[in-house]
Amino acid sequence: MVKRALFALLLLLPAAFASAQQQPAFATNGNAVTIALPASVLQHAAVRKQLGSGLTTTFIVIARSRDRTAEGGARVEVRYDLWDEIYHVRRFEAGRRIDQQRIESLEKLEQWWRTPSRIISLNGQRIVLDVELRVLPFSGAEEEDARRWLSLPDRTTSLVDVLIGTTISAKPIVSFRWSAEVVRR
Amino acid sequence: MRRSGAAVTTLLTVAAATLLFWFFLHQISSVWLDVALRPEVRDALEAGMNDQRKLRDLDPQQRAQYRQRFEENRRLVNRIDVIRMSREAMLRRFELALVVVFATSLLAAALVWWLRQRREAERRRREYVERLASWQEAARRHAHEIRTPLTAARLEADRLASIARSGATSEEVDRAVESVFEELDRLSRFTREFSSFAALGEPVLRSEPLDRIVGEFCATFANAWPSIVLRWEPARAPVPVLADRDMLRQVLVNLCTNSAKASAADVTFTVQRDGDRVLLDVRDSGTGIAPSVRPRIFDPYVTTRKIGEGMGLGLAISRKILLDHGGDLTLVETGAQGTMFRLAFVAG
């Protein structure tokens, strides 16, 4: 009986470990809650593949208080420059760019990735958050560029081209959801 | 016949809808989209980018130029990737659009079919009402035509009985008997008119010179209708047609009788060739046909005359004769200046 329980524990341990690894780190900074996204997001196969595409991989964090009284978010953009073979990264909080860098390697990108971002205001002592991270395969500017390209005025634009033009939109390639209770320190 | 026509229209509408669907579907193969979605295009662009990078390493002096070409390719690759990643949504949108187009086309076809059915039903109803009115009118005329001589004959028979009892002379008896016979003859004439319509025989067609028949008719019947003058324009050469001379004469009599009743001063006959047909135009200077009866002028019992002045069978009989000849009788024009009928014959 004990042997069987130990065996089950051994089986569950890696899953539990992996689950723990994917949890972001929440903290408070003044009147705001910050999030440090886990490196496992960048290591996700679909994300890793997308990072090397040359398109701007866009990470959108949406945070809501459980009681739906507060809402906020952050955005991170990562574009791999295929010519210089470096990563261009930008971080936005509350729609404002607060950080922009050129990063030479994936290891350094993972380090930078852990930098906390402010996602929501903290009014009381504690807050229960539902957080969603959506990974979009390209940025709004790239979407607009492709749409414009399809409907250039100097060539015959069919009805179908117009239809396509209005259909292009970034759908998340992968999403993550977390919940956490954050207490002011 | 009408039902098959409606079916053909519906089929054509569905075919048009399918064609529209096909056209829309083929729009997908727009050149630019094809280019964007072909994997070999992307591969070629990527190979081009790699080449530029290699060239940069081999020839650093031209770095800016290689970079520019590289960026051009990269932008294209990016656009293609964006489009490819939206492909699922695009396909869904396409399918939806196609379904909408097809459904709309089918709906339009169904609407057209429904409207046609409604219009057809309305037309049938209107025709039935008109036929009913004709039958009522015919019943009134029949009753009048039969009742009048019957009443007169009965009165004469009563008078005959009365004068026989009072010891009248044989002359008086003869007059009364003659009067009864006159009324019975009138009844007999009336039934003969119906017999001629009901038992209209098949024409015996022979090659006959139409212009000569018309000429003879004008000569023979010159005094038949004192109020009108018959004119004809002789053709330059003989115009043979397949016709039954007696039946043709009956048609001309009917037309001239109508012209006389329409207060015409003259009737003019003109013969002309029209391909493998020969046309005989009969034009009078009468008062024309009332607009209310024009569309049904060839239907039996359709007439504007008063009860007792005819049953409205003349034109129906005439047209039946012409149809049996392989030709037709049509009303070309009518108005205050007169009326023109056209008789079409098969050239003999």
ipTM of the complex: 0.79
Percent of residues, chain B, with pLDDT higher than 90: 40
Which of B305, B259, B252 is CA-nearest to residue B280?
B252
- Partner A contacted by B41 (CB < 8 A): no
**Residues B243, B33: Cα–Cα separation, whole Å:** 71
Contacts 24+ apart (CB under 8 A), B11-16: B13/B105, B13/B108, B13/B109, B13/B112, B13/B113, B14/B105, B14/B106, B14/B109, B16/B105, B16/B109
Of A54-63, B71-80, B302-311, give the lowest mean pLDDT range: B302-311
From the candidates A85, A167, A169, A171, which should be mutated to test the interface with B, based on the most B CB atoms within 10 A? Answer: A167
User: Is B168 or B229 the better-scoring residue by pLDDT?
Assistant: B229
- B183 band by pLDDT with thresholds 50, 70 and 90: confident
Measured between beta carbons, the chain B residues lying within 8 angstroms of A153 are: none
Tell if the pTM clears 0.95, that is, is over it.
Answer: no
Mean predicted confidence (pLDDT) in A84-90: 95
Q: Across B35-39, B42-46, B188-192, which has the greatest mean pLDDT?
A: B42-46
- B2 band by pLDDT with thresholds 50, 70 and 90: low
Q: Which H or E element spans position B320? A: helix B314-324
- Residues near B185 by beta carbon (within 8 Å), at least 6 away in sequence: none
Measured between beta carbons, the chain B residues lying within 8 angstroms of A145 are: 75, 78-79, 82
Residue A160 has pLDDT above 70, yes or no: no
User: Is B109 or B90 the better-scoring residue by pLDDT?
Assistant: B109
Residue B1 has pLDDT above 60, yes or no: no
- Residues near B281 by beta carbon (within 8 Å), at least 6 away in sequence: B268, B269, B270, B272, B332, B340, B341, B342, B343
- Residues near B196 by beta carbon (within 8 Å), at least 6 away in sequence: B317
Mean predicted confidence (pLDDT) in B276-301: 90
**Residues B157, B161: Cα–Cα separation, whole Å:** 6
- pLDDT attached to residue B180: 86
- pLDDT attached to residue B308: 64
- Number of Cβ within 10 Å of residue B289's Cβ equals 18
Mean predicted confidence (pLDDT) in B122-146: 85
Given a contact cutoff of 8 angstroms between Cβ atoms, the answer to whether B244 and B346 are in contact is no
Instruction: Take residue A74 and report the two structure tokens written for it.
Output: 């952050």
- A41 band by pLDDT with thresholds 50, 70 and 90: very high
Residue B115 has pLDDT above 80, yes or no: yes
Is beta strand A56-65 parallel, antiparallel or unpaired with respect to A126-136?
antiparallel
Residue A153 has pLDDT above 70, yes or no: no
Judge: B86–A83 Cβ closer than 8 Å, yes or no: no
Q: Which residues pair with A126 in a beta bridge?
A: A183
From the candidates B50, B75, B78, which should be mutated to test the interface with A, based on the most A CB atoms within 10 A? Answer: B78
State whether residue A162 is helix, strand or coil.
helix
Mean predicted confidence (pLDDT) in A83-104: 90
Model pLDDT for residues B189-232, shown as the tens digit of each residue: 778 777 777 777 888 999 999 999 999 999 999 888 999 999 99
Of B96-105, B206-215, B330-339, give the lowest mean pLDDT range: B96-105
From the candidates A50, A51, A152, A160, which should be mutated to test the interface with B, based on the most B CB atoms within 10 A? Answer: A160
- A16 band by pLDDT with thresholds 50, 70 and 90: very low
Judge: B81–A168 Cβ closer than 8 Å, yes or no: no
Average pLDDT, chain B: 85
Which of 58-97 (A) contact B at CB < 8 A? 82-83
- pLDDT attached to residue A14: 43
Give, in order, the Cα–Cα distances in Å from A78 to each of A44, A49, B184, B241: 15, 12, 116, 96
- Partner A contacted by B26 (CB < 8 A): no
- B152 band by pLDDT with thresholds 50, 70 and 90: confident
- Partner A contacted by B93 (CB < 8 A): yes
- B133 band by pLDDT with thresholds 50, 70 and 90: confident
State whether residue B188 is helix, strand or coil.
helix
- Partner A contacted by B78 (CB < 8 A): yes
**Residues B119, A120: Cα–Cα separation, whole Å:** 68
**How many interface pairs between A and B have CB atoms less than 8 angstroms apart?**
81
Percent of residues, chain B, with pLDDT higher than 70: 91
Residue A30 has pLDDT above 90, yes or no: no
What angle do the packed helices B63-85 and A140-150 form, to 10 degrees?
Answer: 90
Nearest by CB: A82 against B49, B85, B86: B49
Measured between beta carbons, the chain A residues lying within 8 angstroms of B88 are: 171
Mean predicted confidence (pLDDT) in B312-320: 89
Measured between beta carbons, the chain A residues lying within 8 angstroms of B27 are: 158-160
- Partner B contacted by A142 (CB < 8 A): yes
Residue A111 has pLDDT above 60, yes or no: yes
Measured between beta carbons, the chain B residues lying within 8 angstroms of A169 are: 86, 89
Of A48-57, B24-33, B67-76, give the lowest mean pLDDT range: B24-33
Give, in order, the Cα–Cα distances in Å from B179 to each of B27, B160, B183, B185, B228: 90, 10, 7, 10, 32
Nearest by CB: B32 against A137, A145, A150: A150
- pLDDT attached to residue B270: 94
User: Is B147 or A132 the better-scoring residue by pLDDT?
Assistant: A132
